[in-house]
Each structure stands twice: as structure tokens, then as C-alpha cells.
Amino acid sequence: MNRTHQVPAASFDALAEGRGGPAAVTLLRDARLSRHLLLLRGLLERTPTGDSGRGWLTEAFPLLVRVERNRPDVVRDLLGQPQVGVWATRCLRDVVEAGGRRHVRDESWYLAALAASAAIRAGEPFEIALPLVDGSLVLPTLGRVLAPDPGPVPAQGAPVDAGPAGPGGGAVRHGAVSRVGGTGEGVGLTDPVGSPAALVRAESDGSGLRVRVCFGSAVVALPTDLGQAAPGWRPISRIAVNGRLSLRVLLDDVDPFRGGGDLVTAHQLEEGQERHWRDLVERCWHLLERHHPEASRELAVGLRALVPMARRAGGNRSATHSDAFGSVALSLPADAAQLGAVLVHEFQHSKLSALLDLVPLADGVDPARYYAPWRNDPRPAGALLQGVYAHLAVTDFWRRQRWQGGDDPERATAHFEFALWLVQTHFAARVLATSPALNAAGRHFLTTMSRRLSRWRAEPIPVRERALAVDAAAEHRAQWRLRNLRTDPVFVNHLAEEWAAGGTAPARLTPETELCPPPLGPDSPRAGLRRAAVRDPDLAARRLSRSQDGNGMARDAILRVELADIAGEDDAAKLGYRNRLLDSPRHRDSWVGLGLVERRSGDPGLAEWLLCRPELVHAVYLRIRQLCDGVTDPISVARWLFEGRPGPGYDEPLDMGGWRPLGD
């Protein structure tokens, strides 16, 4: 099934615009299947004889070949699954890094699980041993078999009933940790997942395939319809939505390699949650078909699995593993539009990761770190490229969504999201252009993305939503600088001494900066309040009023300054931020708040400095407080530093990247 894959120039340009269509997605999907096959070949060739994983491979490969001979479509579909890329890449990397030595972590057993699933799906009789993962046996794309309670573990030295033979000839014992592949050397080898194995046996009885799983003397019989739950059997849910196009995806909360194999972020669905997922995915798919036909055509071809994640306190989360083409890990968003934006965003990552297998967009290594408007930490050039590409699609999604039906809050939200991600993505593309890492193809790719973003900048956006988006963008950049940059302490001390001596600030205010380790505290609450105010313009004012008359919640009283800021009560907000700095000079975020207020109703030049160089004024103010007795007014220090100077250029991205990590 291996063949050479090439990307036509027209498909490359279409992908660079953020699109590509079903033909390009099919090309990328097929290329990923070939990659998986090459990884399997490498695993078979590189795993040394005597390694514990060799037994699993030897058991699994002949069965997989037999199924492929009779049902190549089944094997092609199975080996193209997203989790196969995650598993094969990780497993081969472990083998290579072991350098021919036996290694403790061995996940080669998963090929046997794939072979068993392929045979079941193809209706082929077989018999194979599989290990347990967290007390259950996994059948990829199908489900998991729950091991019966083995009862009390025998005492030391007591006889144990022998179960099926494990790969490599070692006995697999029920109710105890088994050894696989002989006695091992050095530290010794246990079963790869630290559990006993079970025997999966499938027999044809004339009416179909009868599958049983033997856990020693205990047997679990799988139902004829593997999509239905049964005693000892937990199927992987499947979501099917029909329309002009059909969506077919797994809702996978079972497979150990789902979503990248990071079980810390994965989440098993609780009773009743599956129905909520089905309902929201169905509504989302109809929305995509009606209003985003290009995106729906691509997702219909390429989206294979949704992996539930637990929500976090700050809101929704989503992720895509570079090796898991077509899989999106996510917590369930609030509505269909938000889910559509997540799917479009994350599938862009899959597209670009697969494209990079075929067309390198960068040469060499760029050690510098850059500002990414969707992250709080500095990012390498490759990650920034991924982010720009994903948010190009997010911008396009909200660009289209804002003109669709819905109530006023929904339209306001769509306008705000379009305005925000247009500003941020265009800015990030300009930051990325400063990286020397991109090759000719990469620069063409970036230029194509940038041209499309530039065209959208001429589109109308309501004044209020545009202003809120610009505030959000300015706030994130300023907070990022406060988190990640440290101003040259010698220069800071010189400025503080000039202030203390009654001198004037020097003409040059662009000192050297260096990256410092994030994080430096929690995010400002303004971002969440601002998004809430998009949907409900009077929300901040109502909460502020309650906090002032004593009838509000305690949290609203704590957020009084931020509520005044979002409500547009600029004098009260400015005074509140000033007083916070007087009381708590290390309260970094207050400088950002002052900059936002000054830009709206004060001194735009001072605001530009406060938002573009907050790390400088913060460091100077702290040093002045150390040198001078008594309390120093923060606004006076800011004006002493910046008043009368031309601003550093709020929209200029050249100073938002290119830092080398400390120690390089």
C-alpha cells in the first residue's frame, strides 16, 4: 500500500489559504496512512529478537496480513486511525532510543490489539493473547472488555492456575503480574502494562462471528452487535449525522492512545454525557453544512475521532496531537457555533502536520522564541506557524458566522471573535515573518496566508465589537511582556537613580530585554468579563452597581476596578488601578489596566508606552520604591518616563519575537 505522495501546486496554494478541499484532505489522509505503514515496517525491522515486544509483533503480524489479504478495506481503515500514528511513532522511538537493548516500557502489544480488531471487523476467526490496560482489554475502534474480578490474589508460593501462553513463551497467569519473554536480564521484564493477559478467541458459527475473551477460567462473551453494551463489554460510541454530507466519527474515551495517549487530559464519559455530545455534534454539523460548506466538506473526509477532555476551571480546552491526523481532543463547548470553531481550529493542525510530512516549510533550527497571541508563553517558530494556520481558519469561521441567523448576543459574539482573531492572527503572521527559519516554500505559504488576512481587514465590523477586540489584543500583548520579559537591571537602576536625583529620563528607552520563566501569576479577570460584556453590554455596570451598594457578591467587590474598566467608567477605573499600585507595587496587571484606560480617554501616547513597554515601567517603579522613602505615585513615574516621546508603535511586531532562551 506504500506509494509516493506529491502535493500539486494548486493544492499547496489552496492549503496555504487555509482551505484545500476534500481532494487535498484525501491526499493528506492517504499520506498519513503510508506514514503509519512505514512506521510499522520500521518497528518490525528494528525490534531486536529477544525483546519483549518482539513476541507481540510476531503474534500479531501474520493475523493482520491474513485479514488484509481478504479485507484490505478493513485494514486500511484501521491502520489509518489517528491513534495508530501516535502509538507507532512512540513505540518506534522507544525501540530506536533503546539502541537494541531491552527496555522497560513496551507498547508493542497494541499491534496485537489492532490485529484482533481487524479480524473481528472482517469476520475472520482467530485466537490471540492480549494484555490488560487498567483492568480491561482494549479492542481499538470497537471498545473494551472488562476483566472479571479475579478474587483474592494467592499467597506467596501458592499454586496459580495457568492461563493462555503469552508472547515469547512466558506463562501468563491470572490474578498476578506475569513475566513475558523469559526471565529477562538486569532489572527483569514484566508484562508491558503491568497486568496479566487474556485470550481473545473468535469462531464462526454459521450466522456470524462469536467472540469470547478468556480471563483464565472466566469468560466474557461479546454481543453480536458490538455497538451495544453488554455485561463485561463497553463499546466505543459512534456519532453519525446525515445531511447533504455525512459525518461519521468515534467518540473515543476508551483507547489508551486516543488524543495523543495523554491520559492526564483524557476523560471518560459519565452516564448521560454521551447524549449531550451527540446532540451538540448534530447541531454543529447542520450549522457547518449550512454556513461553512468548505469546512464541512473537509471534515466529512478527514475527521475520524472526538476525544472527550475534562473541562478546566478557566473554560473549555482542546488539543490535537501532531501524530493523530483527524482526531480532536476537547471538552464540550457551550453551543454549536463554539464547537464548530473548535473543530475547524483543531483540524487545521492535522492538515498542517500532515502537509509538513510532504513539504518542509522550514530549514534548520531557529532557537529563538516568539510571541503567540493565543498563548501566555514564548513559542518556537514551528509552533507559531501552526498557530497562525489554525487561527486563519478560526478567523474565517467567525467571519462567515457573524452574518448568519441568531439573536443579537450571538451576532455580537461572532463580530467580536472575528475582529479579535483577525487582529491577532495578522499580527502573529508579521511576527513569524521575522524568523529566519522559513524556507522558500514556507515564505510562500506564509505570504499566501497573510494576503488573505489582509483582504479581510477591509471588511466592516461594528464599532463596539471592534473596540472590545482591540482592547483584548492590547491587553494580551502587554500581559505577555509582563510575564515573559525582564528589563536590563543596570538600565532600570540608572533610570531610578535619575528619578531620585530629580533628573530627566534619558532619550533612549529601548533597553535590552531577556526571557524569564513564566508563569508570573494568574490571568487578569478582564478577559472573561470582556467576553461576557460582548453578549450582555450592561452586565459589568449591573455587577459594579451591586458591589458599590453592598448588595453584590464578595467577588464583585474584589473585581470592582475591573468592572469599572469594562463598564467604561474610566475615571473610577484609573483611580482604582493607581491605588492598587500604591498599595501593592508588585501588582503588574494594574499597569495594563492603566494603559487601556489612558488609550480610551486619556493620553494615547502614554497609553502606547504603557501597553508596549509595561515591563520597563513596572521594573523602574519597583526600583524607585526601593530607593525612595515614602510612597511614589505610579502615574507620575509613567509620565516622567514617557511623556513627550513618540510611541514605540502599538502595531509594530518586530519587538515581539526573536529572543533566545536563557542559556542558549
Sheet hosting strand 247-251, strand order edge to edge = 237-241, 247-251, 305-308, 327-330, 318-319
* Same domain membership, residue 255 and residue 272: yes
* Same domain membership, residue 506 and residue 424: no
Confidence tier at 350 by pLDDT (50, 70, 90): very high
Answer whether 478's CB lies under 8 Å from 611's CB.
yes
pLDDT of amino acid 234: 93
Domain annotation covers residue 31: no
CA pair distance 108, 60, nearest whole angstrom: 10
* Same domain membership, residue 604 and residue 508: yes
What is the average pLDDT score of the chain?
85
* Same domain membership, residue 518 and residue 424: no
* Same domain membership, residue 354 and residue 365: no
Q: How far is CA 34 from the centre of its chain?
A: 25
Residue with cell 468548505: 294
Q: What is the mean pLDDT of residues 258-269?
A: 71
φ, ψ for residue 358, nearest 5 deg: -105, -35
* Same domain membership, residue 372 and residue 322: no
Domain annotation covers residue 314: yes
pLDDT of amino acid 515: 82
* Same domain membership, residue 484 and residue 451: no
CA pair distance 45, 68, nearest whole angstrom: 20
Answer whether 52's CB lies under 8 Å from 192's CB.
yes
Confidence tier at 174 by pLDDT (50, 70, 90): very low
* Same domain membership, residue 378 and residue 349: no
More confident residue, 183 or 14: 14
Q: How many structural domains does the chain have?
A: 3
CA pair distance 163, 216, nearest whole angstrom: 5
654: its cell numbers:
518586530
Query: Does residue 373 carry a pLDDT above 60?
Result: yes
Give the three-state DSSP class for 260. helix
Q: How far is CA 178 from the centre of its chain?
A: 37
Domain boundary at 338, 359, 380, which? 359
What CA–CA distances, in Å, run from 539 to 382, 529, 534, 548, 567? 40, 9, 9, 14, 8
- Which stretches of 327-404 are assigned E, i.e. beta strand? 327-330, 369-370
pLDDT of amino acid 151: 54
Query: Does residue 155 carry a pLDDT above 50?
Result: no
Q: Report the Cα–Cα distance between both ends of the chain, in Å, rounded.
A: 44
Query: Does residue 494 carry a pLDDT above 50?
Result: yes
Enumerate the β-bridge partners of residue 127. 201
Environment class of 210 (CB within 10 Å of its CB; exposed 0-12, middle 13-18, buried 19+): middle
Across 124-128, 192-196, 427-431, 642-646, least confident range: 192-196
Domain boundary at 343, 359, 375, which? 359
Confidence tier at 298 by pLDDT (50, 70, 90): very high
Confidence tier at 265 by pLDDT (50, 70, 90): low
CA pair distance 100, 350, nearest whole angstrom: 32
What CA–CA distances, in Å, run from 458 to 18, 347, 422, 423, 461? 19, 27, 11, 12, 9
Query: Does residue 391 carry a pLDDT above 90?
Result: yes
pLDDT of amino acid 643: 82
Q: Which of 113, 128, 125 is nearest to 166 (CA)?
A: 128
Helical packing angle, 9-16 and 440-456, nearest 10°: 50
* Same domain membership, residue 511 and residue 429: no
Q: What is the mean pLDDT of residues 8-25?
A: 95
Q: Got the DSSP string for 108-174?
A: THHHHHHHHHHHHHHT--EEEEEE-BTTEEEETTTEEEEPPP--SPPPTT----EEEEPGGGPEEET
Q: What percentage of the chain has pLDDT greater than the value 90?
A: 61
143: its cell numbers:
471498545
What are 421-474's pLDDT values in tens digits?
Answer: 999 999 999 999 999 999 999 999 999 999 999 999 999 999 999 999 999 999
Answer whether 100's CB lies under 8 Å from 167's CB.
no
**Domain assignment of residue 388, given as a range:** 360-461
Q: What is the mean pLDDT of residues 647-656?
A: 64
Domain annotation covers residue 399: yes
Answer whether 320's CB lies under 8 Å from 346's CB.
yes
Domain annotation covers residue 545: yes
Give the three-state DSSP class for 214. strand
Enumerate the β-bridge partners of residue 214. 199, 219
Q: Give me the helices (H) in 509-588, please.
A: 526-535, 539-548, 554-558, 560-567, 570-583
* Same domain membership, residue 391 and residue 271: no
pLDDT of amino acid 661: 54
Domain annotation covers residue 396: yes
pLDDT of amino acid 412: 93
In sequence order, which residues have a C-beta less than 8 Å from that of residue 584 and are 6 or more positions away?
A: none
Q: What is the mean pLDDT of residues 65-87?
A: 95
* Same domain membership, residue 370 and residue 300: no
